[in-house]
Amino acid sequence: MKTKYNSQNGQLCPKTGKPLKLKIKHSWLKWLYLLTGLSALIWFLVRVIPKPSRAAYPCQRVAAPLASGFVLWLIGLIAVPFGYRKAKEYLAQSRLVLAIICFTVVAVAGLLVVVNMPQQSALAEDPMPNAPLGIGKGIYPGRVVWVYDPNATNWMGTNGNGEDIGDGYWWERNHTNQTIVNSMMSKAIQTMTEKSTDSAAWNVIFRYFNQSKGKGNIGYQPGEKITIKINMVTANRDHSNVDMLGNQTKWLGWVNTSPQMIVALLHQLVNVVGIEQSDITVGDTTCYFPNHYWNYCHIYFPNVNYMACNSNWGRQGAVSSKGHVCETPIYWSTSGAKGKTQDYLPVSYAEAAYLINFSCLKGHSSGVTLCGKNHYGSFIRLPYESPYYDLHLSLPNPGWSPGMGHCRAIVDIIGHPHIGGKTLLYLIDGLYGGYYWEGCPVKWIMPPFNGDWPSSLFVSQDPVAIDSVAYDFLLKEWPRVVTGGTGNMGDLQGGAEDYLHEAALADDPPSGTFYDPNNDGMGLTSLGVHEHWNNAFDKQYSRNLGTGNGIELVPVTLTYSVADLNNNREVGLDDLSILASQWLKSPGIPSADIAPFPAGDGIVNFKDFALMVLHWLEEK
């Protein structure tokens, strides 16, 4: 019997005198590889044959190469001995050509065996580009409009903690140009509908929505209520950072949906669509509507209902629909919600004919905070409040439910008939995007921002598509932030985009969950389309490339003069007429009509006139 020498025990080879390494044969690994490949093949066939669309599921994308590799390996394993035997026979018969062909087949088959030995799947994979899942929604299915104007923001920045560095805060009048934000909103609405005026665009939006809900080909009807859900998480009632007078006392530099974006949207609804201010509710049920927001928005639209977690300081306190005529429960499709207190929507949601989801561009310690997660603040109680179902357990935090293929509460939210089912429009405020839930504003590195604020607005009628596009932006800028805590760029195992897969395939999700947020036994259908762009430079999706029915990203860059008040790409007498009419109507005070004033501070005065003259002279 030969002796094995172990270098770790100081044993030497009797011939060379050198330490020998102990060779341990792990034959069981070979069987594990074979079992992995066979299992992948069986799983792929069982899942995909009944429904071929499942081939696009993340789990099937992992299984497919394993299964195909196993099949090729098996073919090679069978072909090698058969080909070798035939080659020997032909060689013995002096049939050299056939013998050479058989030896060639043996060599190729042997290569297949070696190359396609079943391997264990990697724990992480880069997102697959241009492989859409689900069905696009909207007038133009899967369309997401991205409006970018670097002139919208001119803030110097923070010390890294969201606190100002002597230049005030990002939300102040002189740091975000209301004129340009108004134009961004206008251009986004027109581009999404391919209409040349705001009024025509909104008419199409309302008619499409009502037709899709079986209400007929009708536009907005007077008296119909509309609720706008914004993100005000930095003024959350649990943080004790709003004093007895309604002043926010800390985190003033952190990002929420901006007051300028809120005003721009209200301008469209009130002054373009013609909705009565009293029929509009805007706010966040679990948060305050602090004074610096109230003072900005209320002066323009004093009769809008500004919703908050309480009714102090003239705000509208959020009220549960439980016990009301409009009582509207929401059910969570996870077994983890069993035995928990029933959730009900607020009265303002239940009574509304339309909702608008207006989130902001943020990462999160547990994925992303976009339109989907924006509604975690729509249930009057805090997401983690006991004895309700803890919504945080549905997030891809490593301590909760990391990875892909889990039941996600966001899908119930998007699919509920009185939340996603009522949502007319999805918007993401990207003026000052940030990372983590608090959204400390940070200048972005990726092009076209190149060290400046993102200064962007995203708009869509597809709740999955808009979050998918924003996810790609966040993933490129902060790969360690948006992957669910794993720290690996594009790591699907982190689970940050799991809710997008589940929502896109809600009729047959990878998790196998039966999503029924209305508890009526009627499962959800696809809630939208999910896809990754081809690359961060071109930012093109399958509809852009003409290769599939996925997302269409329509970028719009605005860089025209702030004195071009009618947006016709020139400064002339028409612009001067608009300025003069507003000046006569409300000299020296913010205008209720929100005319696009050159100075962008909402006040018509000599500063606006001077800027108009300057731009007029420059163009001449």
What are 436-453's pLDDT values in tens digits?
A: 766 778 888 888 888 899
- Per-residue pLDDT of 91-114, as tens digits, reads 777 777 766 776 676 566 555 544
DSSP 426: E
DSSP 456: E
Residue whose C-alpha is closest to residue 135's, from 462, 467, 528, 411:
528
Minimum mean pLDDT range among 150-159, 311-320, 323-332: 150-159
Q: What's residue 572's pLDDT?
A: 79
Whole-angstrom Cα distance, residue 166 to residue 293?
20
Please, are residues 315 and 294 in contact by the beta-carbon 8 Å criterion? yes
Mean pLDDT of the chain: 81
Residue 253 lies in a domain: yes
Residues 166 and 106 placed together within one structural domain of the fold: no
Give this prediction's pTM: 0.75
Res 6 pLDDT > 50: no
Using the 3D structure, point to which of 557, 581, 604 is the last residue of a domain: 557
Residue 15 lies in a domain: no
Whole-angstrom Cα distance, residue 104 to residue 9?
47
Minimum mean pLDDT range among 2-6, 169-173, 433-437, 462-466: 2-6
Residue 293: CA atoms inside 13 Å, Cβ hemisphere, count?
30
Q: What's residue 493's pLDDT?
A: 52
Residues 402 and 467 placed together within one structural domain of the fold: yes
Contacts of 583 (CB under 8 A, 6+ apart): 604, 605, 608, 609
Minimum mean pLDDT range among 422-436, 441-455, 565-579, 594-608: 594-608
Residue 125 lies in a domain: no
Residues 229 and 205 placed together within one structural domain of the fold: yes
Residues 242 and 346 placed together within one structural domain of the fold: yes
Residues 369 and 434 placed together within one structural domain of the fold: yes
Both structure tokens of 46: 């069982």
Residue 13 lies in a domain: no
Count the domains in the chain. 3
Residues 474 and 553 placed together within one structural domain of the fold: yes
Average pLDDT of the segment spanning 67-90? 65
Terminal CA-to-CA distance of the chain, rounded, Å?
A: 100
How far does Cα 426 stand from its chain's mean position?
Answer: 11
DSSP 313: G
Q: What's residue 58's pLDDT?
A: 45
Q: What are phi and psi of 573, to 5 degrees?
A: -60, -35
Please, are residues 382 and 253 in contact by the beta-carbon 8 Å criterion? no
Residue 403 zone, left/alpha/beta (φ > 0; ψ -120 to 50; rest)? left
Residue 318 lies in a domain: yes
Whole-angstrom Cα distance, residue 483 to residue 365?
9
Using the 3D structure, point to which of 81, 115, 149 is the last residue of a domain: 115
Residue 22 lies in a domain: no
Q: What's residue 70's pLDDT?
A: 61
CA triple 59-419-197, angle to 5 deg: 105
Q: Percent helix, strand and coil across the chain, each rounded to 5?
A: 40, 15, 45
Whole-angstrom Cα distance, residue 181 to residue 175?
12
Place of tokens 């609405």: 189
Residues 206 and 234 placed together within one structural domain of the fold: yes
Give helix then strand counts, H and E, for the chain. Answer: 15, 15
Residues 109 and 201 placed together within one structural domain of the fold: no
Res 357 pLDDT > 90: yes
Where are the alpha helices (H) located in 445-552, listed in sequence order? 463-477, 498-504, 542-545
Residues 420 and 324 placed together within one structural domain of the fold: yes
Q: What's residue 569's pLDDT?
A: 59
Q: What's residue 33's pLDDT?
A: 53
Q: What is the DSSP string of 38-59?
A: HHHHHHHHHHHTT-GGGGGSHH
Rg of the chain (C-alpha set): 30
Range of the structural domain that residue 605 is part of: 573-619
Q: What's residue 92's pLDDT?
A: 73
Whole-angstrom Cα distance, residue 380 to residue 513?
26
Residue 199 lies in a domain: yes
Residue 1 lies in a domain: no
Residues 405 and 287 placed together within one structural domain of the fold: yes
Res 206 pLDDT > 50: yes
Residues 594 and 514 placed together within one structural domain of the fold: no
Residues 109 and 155 placed together within one structural domain of the fold: no
Res 18 pLDDT > 50: no
